[in-house]
Copies of this chain bind each other. A is one copy, B any other.
Amino acid sequence: MAKDKKLVEAITSMETDFAQWYTDVVKKAELIDYSSIKGCMVIKAAGYAIWENIQNELDRRFKETGVENVYMPMFIPESLLQKEKDHVEGFAPEVAWVTHGGVNPLQERLCVRPTSETLFCDFYANDIQSYRDLPKLYNQWCSVVRWEKETRPFLRSREFLWQEGHTAHATAQEAEERTIQMLNLYADFCEEVLAMPVVRGRKTDKEKFAGAEATYTIEAMMHDGKALQSGTSHNFGDGFAKAFEIQYTDRDNKLQYVHQTSWGMSTRLMGGIIMVHGDDSGLVLPPMIAPTQVMVIPIQQHKEGVLERAQQLMEQLKEAGVRVKLDDSDKSPGWKFSEQEMRGIPIRIELGPKDIEAGKCILVRRDTREKIECMLEQVAETSEELLKTIQKDMFVRAKEHRDSHISEVKTYQEFKDAVEHKPGFIRAMWCGDVACEDKIKEDTTATARCMPFHDQEAISDVCVCCGKPAHKLVYWGKAY
């Protein structure tokens, strides 16, 4: 038992130090390891398997909307990065520069892509000629680099994995529709697959993407009340098209600029899963994204017939399409329980000699620790049903937590009190002036997370900061 305790004690509790709890979980659940390259991490097998499930499910959803995958080079010549003014200003300070190929200095230095708008634009300028070539609906899965000063596993690292979709359309309306379509796809994915409720909305101009006309976002709330921007979708209008000369001849044989969008989700989502669902025993994975959904743990496995029956159980579950593993290592059952809990495997099945005699086994939910007795012949149906229940319950709990951590405030004093004492989102009116955003950030560190689509009714008619007339309801919060 000493060993079992050690594993569990190794995690700081969320209450004591949320940041340390997070770091402990990513390490102890073997999601990542630090590397010799400052600010870059190793994504270990347990972490990458979750990312693969995210990729597969997102990719399937993208393709259903007509998106195709492509691959652009990882380097951007400096002159190309500079073509769109706002864009280069946003990214140039934080890119990594390649200056030498082998022993020779390069004629023009190249940055490692921080995002690939400029590469897609350069490509589209040649590839798009006529209205017949539109729309272009491309995506790529790759890694990108941003030379951040402070880094945290999954949340902010110098290199991270993501997908970036880039589309080109004949009309402004089509581009706007695609921008919203992808934001909704992201939101549905988060809620249905990651059991992570999100607020859909529009970013203020201060918070929008460098070079975008409009940026839409989904904002999730972590257990500590802080916001995580979990996916963004940008409408570029024809700004990039003008900078890169991306034109097509329309049906009347006239030259027109295309209208573009881009949208991305990244390994940040992994941080979201941890901080929305995790607890003091470690990770809690939503069944739909869990690489292993059920861990079978034999009790007194040295006794005759136990391992064989556990093996059979596993096969039953496998046949039913459940992602199942059997832990038949020589560790103690208690140690195995702790490991399964630390790794967030949604269900463990305990099976010992007495259970077998009685024709039963015990299912234990990771999320609630509830124990369910189950006849051995019904283990497949019961597990499948339970996985669905867990998935649903996890979303409901996360939503209740989120909804109970939203404060509505009308005065600046209330705002400051809320930031100080009530972790979560703050609903407050805003006049639209960036000066108020700047002041709020300086006074409280909270930022405008979004102007929500589904919650627009005015709380009052004046700005929470300056008191001038205000029509915009904004969700504010501290953010990762």
Q: Which residues of A contact B (CB under 8 A)?
A: 33, 35-37, 40-45, 48-49, 51-52, 68-77, 80, 92-103, 110, 112, 119, 122-123, 126-127, 138, 142-143, 145, 147, 158-159, 161
Contacts and interface: CB of A to CB of B under 8 A. Distances in A.
Contacts of A72: 35, 42
Contacts of A126: 33
Given A42-B71, A71-B42, A97 B96 contact: no
Q: How many copies does the complex hold?
A: 2
Nearest to A71: B43
Nearest to A40: B73
Contact of A73 (B41, B70, B71): B41
Contacts of A103: 93
Given A37-B75, A69-B45, A147 B102 contact: yes
Given A37-B75, A42-B123, A74-B159, 14 more contacts: A35-B119, A35-B123, A36-B77, A36-B122, A40-B74, A44-B70, A45-B70, A48-B69, A51-B71, A75-B96, A96-B101, A98-B99, A98-B112, A112-B112
Contacts of A94: 101-102
A72 B127 CA distance: 34
Given A93-B102, A100-B99, A77 B37 contact: yes
B97 A98 contact: yes
A159 B33 CA distance: 26
A119 B159 CA distance: 15
Nearest to A75: B37
Contact of A37 (B70, B92, B110, B147): B110
Contacts of A77: 36-37
B145 A143 contact: no
Given A33-B127, A93-B103, A123-B35, A70 B98 contact: no
A70 to B, nearest CB: 5
A293 to B, nearest CB: 17
B71 A147 contact: no
A169 B7 CA distance: 27
Contacts of A49: 68-69
Nearest to A44: B70
A51 B35 CA distance: 29
B95 A102 contact: yes
A51 B95 CA distance: 29
Contacts of A44: 70
A73 to B, nearest CB: 4
B97 A100 contact: yes
Contact of A75 (B40, B69, B102, B138): B40
B99 A97 contact: yes
A161 B71 contact: yes
5 contacts: A42-B72, A45-B69, A45-B70, A98-B99, A99-B99
A45 B147 CA distance: 30
Contacts of A110: 37, 96
A200 to B, nearest CB: 29
A96 B103 CA distance: 9
A42 B73 contact: yes
Nearest to A43: B71
A75 B122 contact: no
A473 to B, nearest CB: 36
A160 B90 CA distance: 28
B98 A96 contact: yes
Contacts of A92: 102
Contacts of A127: 33
B45 A138 contact: yes
Nearest to A141: B141
A48 B110 CA distance: 24
A73 B119 contact: no
A42 B98 CA distance: 19
Contacts of A101: 94-97, 147, 158
A147 B143 CA distance: 19
A68 B158 CA distance: 24
A127 B98 CA distance: 31
B42 A69 contact: no
A94 B101 CA distance: 7
